[in-house]
Amino acid sequence: MLIGHERWLHRRDFVDQFVTMVGETDGTDTPMAVVEWAAAVSALDEGRLPCSSSEGQVLHLAASLVGGPAVDLGDALCGLDRANLTLVAEAVLHAGGDRPFTPMRWGT
């Protein structure tokens, strides 16, 4: 969801503080980004990661899907545009075992 959202992973303040790369330095073949979800959500909630309301909603939802702090879906989804709602729906399907993943095509 964060990859498709194209905001958080382009922010140096987010990546430097809350994302660790593994795989490239430990000799495995597949590099992977690991997000420190609880710390990122805490920073967001404390105002240390200023962002738009939809960016904050997406970060909260992403963290919740991977076992981070739970969110109220009504609050978390309210006001998101179709593109962000599609990202959320795709992430929920993936988390529910819909693999291999096939991106949704809404309205096409």
Question: Does residue 15 lie in a domain region?
Answer: yes
Predicted pLDDT at 64: 93
- Domain for residue 7, yes or no? yes
Is residue 41 a part of any domain in this protein?
yes
Q: What's the whole-number mean pLDDT along residues 18-40?
A: 82
Tell me, yes or no, whether 104 lies in a domain.
Answer: no
Structural domain span for residue 8: 2-95
User: Is residue 103 in a domain?
Assistant: no
Cα–Cα distance measured from residue 37 to residue 20, given in angstroms and rounded to the nearest whole number: 11
Asked whether residue 108 is domain-assigned, the answer is no
User: What's the domain count of the chain?
Assistant: 1
DSSP three-state, residue 49? coil
pLDDT of residue 49: 97
Q: 3-state DSSP helix/strand/coil percent for the chain, to nearest 5?
A: 50, 5, 40
Let me know if residue 72 belongs to a domain.
Answer: yes
Instruction: Determine which of 40-44, 83-87, 91-95, 103-107 has the lowest per-residue pLDDT on average.
Output: 103-107
Give 67: exposed, middle or buried? Use CB within 10 Å, 0-12, 13-18, 19+.
Answer: exposed
